[in-house]
């Protein structure tokens, strides 16, 4: 069986005839230069063709699209998938992660995506760094929290379990390791288990106090079976807070510029915001109810007015003033057709537009996989492009949804790490991860 032609340097995985993955040896050393080239896809009228029932504005000019499969994915893995938010680093390069979802002994990778150079490189092999050799013992099968960068340029990420059922003492589970990658040297350092007996699905960086903020969920070995908020001080290399009110969904945080953080929780019958204060080092419940179904699923950085733009779990878009704190307004919903569930949102540098892709956990194709630009001034949904038809036609590949977006500093490039699968797969939305870079035309983001 012959593999399709894919530009290859070192170890890669490529589509074979019939849509399966060609077998590839596992990556065994961190810093390995596993790499593929980004490919510019042809222009297609399908990019601007809305599916039936999608009564939304559509861009007049189609974007240029770059595409690649993440290298290093091998045939026979449990389920290649990407679950964490991505990063636009200070260098202008993007970073994203994937994992094989295996348990108790999983694999996870971090990649550098360089649009200027046209490359996607595997730069950190999580399993190789933590060094668990025994395949019967625990090693993280995902990176569920974001890949984040500190003020010194170092990049941090936590592992996450492939299955909560395999986080027992007999599995060797003690929690997931915090890793630090240095883009200058290409080396990854293991900082140890920062939140004992927990996996971390949410991670943010606060430059003011040089700390990692996150939400953590317990493994089977945790003495207290409760989700929690944590803060890890990078300067002191220690956990300074771990607990507080239990979140009602451990999938998103709002981070204020003053160091406060907000998540959603229960207060009697109400679903409200909880606030962490670094000054008091405490979490308190607020009398501020959460729009939509009461669960925060995604939040942008705060704008110049200290308002973060948020998505509820059921797709309501609203503003949250981190200085008050209070909900400022409900401005719309994510998309009129398909799955409203959306796991990431980016605020553009002009602070006028939000970008997101609805249908995060599969079936994004029902809406054509729209790349949405939400105009906060006009309160209008506009599709920059519908991606699914193009990827089906050009690659025989179905886009399954995304948990990771990153926007370039000037707002011209949106990097998306997608779940997906070859057409005809029993599991149509997962199993082969890819990167798409959408080059947003200046005319579609000029505010006119």
Which tens digit of pLDDT belongs to each residue from 335-394? 999 999 999 999 999 999 999 999 999 999 999 999 999 999 999 999 999 999 999 999
Find the mean pLDDT for residues 59-82. 97
Q: Which of 389, 370, 392, 368 is nearest to 381 (CA)?
A: 370
Mean pLDDT over residues 230-244, rounded? 97
**pLDDT given at position 18:** 35
Share of the chain above pLDDT 90, in %: 91
pLDDT computed for residue 53 by the predictor: 87
Q: Which of 417, 444, 425 is nearest to 66 (CA)?
A: 417
CATH of the domain at 155: 2.130.10.10
Quote the Cα angle for 278-280-286, to 5°: 90
Q: What is the pLDDT of residue 253?
A: 98
End-to-end CA distance of the chain: 52
The CA distance from 64 to 387, in Å, is 11
Q: Is the pLDDT of residue 10 over 60?
A: no
Residue 25 has pLDDT above 60, yes or no: no
Max CA-CA distance within the chain?
63
pLDDT tens, residue by residue, 103-157: 999 999 999 999 999 999 999 999 999 999 999 999 999 999 999 999 999 999 9
- In this predicted structure, the answer to whether residue 427 has a pLDDT above a threshold of 50 is yes
> Is the model's pLDDT at 180 over the cut of 90?
yes
- Mean pLDDT over 265-292 rounds to 98
Say if 3 falls within a structural domain: no
Does any domain span residue 352? Answer: yes
Alpha carbon distances (Å) from 8 to 37, 190, 265, 346? 7, 29, 47, 32
- Does residue 272 fall inside a structural domain? yes
Query: What is the residue-averaged pLDDT of the chain?
Result: 93
In this structure, of 33-37, 91-95, 320-324, the range with the lowest mean pLDDT score is 33-37
Q: What are phi and psi of 430, to 5 degrees?
A: -140, 160
CB atoms within 10 A of CB 184: 8
DSSP collapsed to 3 states, 191-226? EEECCCCEEEEEEEEECCCCEEEEEEEECCCCCCCC
Question: Cα(224)–Cα(243) distance, rounded to whole angstroms?
Answer: 10
35-68 per-position pLDDT tens digit? 999 999 999 999 999 998 899 999 999 999 999 9
Residue 165 lies in a domain: yes
Indicate whether 152 belongs to any domain.
Answer: yes
pTM listed for this prediction: 0.94
267 falls within a domain: yes
In a domain, 2, yes or no: no
**Residue 17: per-residue pLDDT:** 35
Count structural domains, the chain: 1
* Domain span including residue 367: 8-444
**Percentage of the chain with pLDDT > 70?**
92
**Strand 316-321 to strand 326-333: parallel, antiparallel, or no bridges (unpaired)?**
antiparallel
């Amino acid at each position: 069986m012959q593999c399709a032609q894919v530009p290859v340097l070192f170890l890669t995985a490529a589509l074979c005839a019939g849509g399966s993955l060609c077998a590839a040896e596992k990556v065994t050393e961190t810093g390995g230069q596993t790499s593929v080239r980004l490919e510019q896809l042809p222009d297609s009228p399908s990019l601007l063709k809305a599916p039936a029932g999608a009564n939304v504005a559509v861009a007049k000019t189609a974007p240029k699209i770059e595409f690649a499969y993440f290298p290093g994915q091998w045939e026979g893995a449990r389920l290649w998938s990407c679950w964490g938010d991505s990063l636009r680093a200070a260098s202008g390069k993007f970073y994203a992660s994937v994992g094989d979802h295996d348990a108790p002994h999983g694999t996870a990778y971090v990649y550098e995506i360089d649009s200027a150079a046209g490359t996607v490189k595997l730069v950190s092999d999580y399993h190789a760094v933590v060094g668990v050799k025994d395949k019967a013992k625990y090693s993280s099968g995902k990176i569920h929290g974001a890949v984040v960068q500190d003020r010194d340029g170092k990049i941090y990420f936590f592992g996450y379990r492939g299955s909560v059922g395999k986080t027992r003492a007999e599995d060797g589970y003690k929690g997931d390791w915090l890793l630090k990658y240095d883009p200058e040297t290409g080396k990854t350092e293991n900082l140890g288990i920062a939140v004992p007996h927990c996996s971390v699905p949410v991670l943010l960086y606060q430059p003011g106090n040089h700390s990692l903020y996150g939400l953590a969920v317990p493994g089977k070995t945790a003495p207290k079976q409760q989700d929690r908020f944590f803060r890890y001080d990078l300067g002191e290399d220690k956990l300074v807070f771990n607990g507080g009110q239990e979140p009602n969904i451990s999938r998103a945080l709002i981070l204020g510029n003053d160091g406060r953080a907000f998540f959603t929780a229960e207060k009697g019958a109400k679903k409200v915001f909880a606030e962490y204060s670094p000054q008091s080092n405490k979490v308190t419940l607020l009398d501020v109810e959460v729009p939509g179904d009461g669960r925060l699923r995604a939040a942008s950085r705060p704008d110049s007015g200290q308002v973060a733009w948020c998505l509820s779990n059921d797709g309501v878009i609203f503003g949250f003033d981190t200085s008050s704190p209070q909900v400022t307004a409900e401005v719309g919903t994510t998309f009129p057709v398909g799955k409203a569930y959306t796991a990431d949102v980016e605020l553009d540098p002009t602070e006028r537009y939000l970008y997101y892709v609805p249908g995060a956990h599969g079936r994004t194709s029902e809406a054509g996989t729209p790349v949405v630009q939400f105009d906060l001034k006009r309160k209008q949904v506009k599709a920059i492009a519908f991606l699914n038809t193009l990827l089906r036609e050009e690659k025989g590949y179905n886009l399954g949804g995304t948990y990771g977006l990153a926007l370039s500093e000037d707002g011209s490039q949106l990097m998306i790490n997608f779940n997906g699968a070859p057409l005809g797969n029993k599991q149509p939305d997962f199993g082969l991860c890819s990167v798409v870079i959408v080059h947003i035309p200046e005319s579609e983001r000029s505010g006119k």
